[in-house]
Structure 1
């Protein structure tokens, strides 16, 4: 796959079947305010609206120091990920409609896109596909940074979807 500019796109996907109806899983993955509850070492910095709504903006801080007080996390390995919601389509189990959320990454560390596809399986299960196409913002080219970023994201996404499955299983 290539981008509109002809640059190879490195898409990372992690999927998991969850034991909940698609609309429940969608509520958790589409609402940026819930992400710190299930994403590994992640904190919401700044508002995420009352969403999820198109145009919602937020900054996520992820990394070993992210769960600590933001003032004390300075100097630790924390990646700030500013994003805006650009697509939001709710799923429907009855209509076999896939729910989709797409976010654009605005920097300062990461550029690219990310999203969640929530695929209804049956009344009590759905498949959540988390995907990312991300690379480090300058000075190195996208072709150089997309692979190591993708490898780190794959581990992060796998662990986080496991946490989401456990959180939804407990409710």
Structure 2
């Protein structure tokens, strides 16, 4: 099985403590992650579910929180049928009362060579989704 990495970073005009509160409010993900609604827990070992799609067309991303370190990191293990791998948000306070948020994913590609070939098409969309989402998150603090 192949693994691919994708990540995005944004600087947000708020301290990590404030950004953390919104970042891990899973029901608020729909405000900044396009086409996604989510719900879930608030501690290591608890589950998170996110539906990404339009209407009935989409996929369910099930996860288990593998690290919960407020206000600096939340990591998940993707356990779904379509999305498997590891994901995390890292928050770092930077000068000026701001913080830097990095969203990183290590995605396990299914289907061997077919999955790697599919990543050629899907990879740029995944990168765009992460970048767009983080820019939308930052706008919530402007």
Map of 1:114-153 to 2, 5 A cutoff?
114-122=87-95, 124-136=97-109, 138=110, 140-141=111-112, 144=116, 145-146=118-119, 148-153=121-126
Partner of residue 43, structure 2 = 53
Kindly indicate which of the two structures has a greater share of residues assigned to strand.
2
What is the TM-score when the length of structure 2 is the normalising length? 0.86
Partner of residue 29, structure 1 = 23
Q: Which deviations, in whole Å up to 9, do the C-alpha atoms of 1:47-103 show, x marking residues without a partner? A: 513xx211221211112x1xxxxxxx33x2x12111111101124xxxxxxx11111
Unaligned runs of 5+ in 1: 1-6, 66-72, 92-98
DSSP-derived class of the 1:35 partner = helix
Q: Give the superposed CA RMSD.
A: 2.1
Match of 1:19 among 9, 13, 17: 13
DSSP-derived class of the 1:108 partner = coil
**Number of corresponding residues:** 140
2:24, 2:123 → 1: CA distance? 21
What is the TM-score when the length of structure 1 is the normalising length? 0.73
Partner of residue 68, structure 1 = none
Verify: 1:168 aligned to 2:137, yes or no. no
Indicate how the Cα distance of structure 1 residues 148 and 37 shifts in structure 2: closer, same or farther if over 3 A, else same: same
Q: Considering Cα pairs closer than 8 Å and 6+ residues apart, tell me whether 1 or 2 has the greater RCO.
A: 2
Alpha-carbon offset, residue 21 of structure 1: 0.5
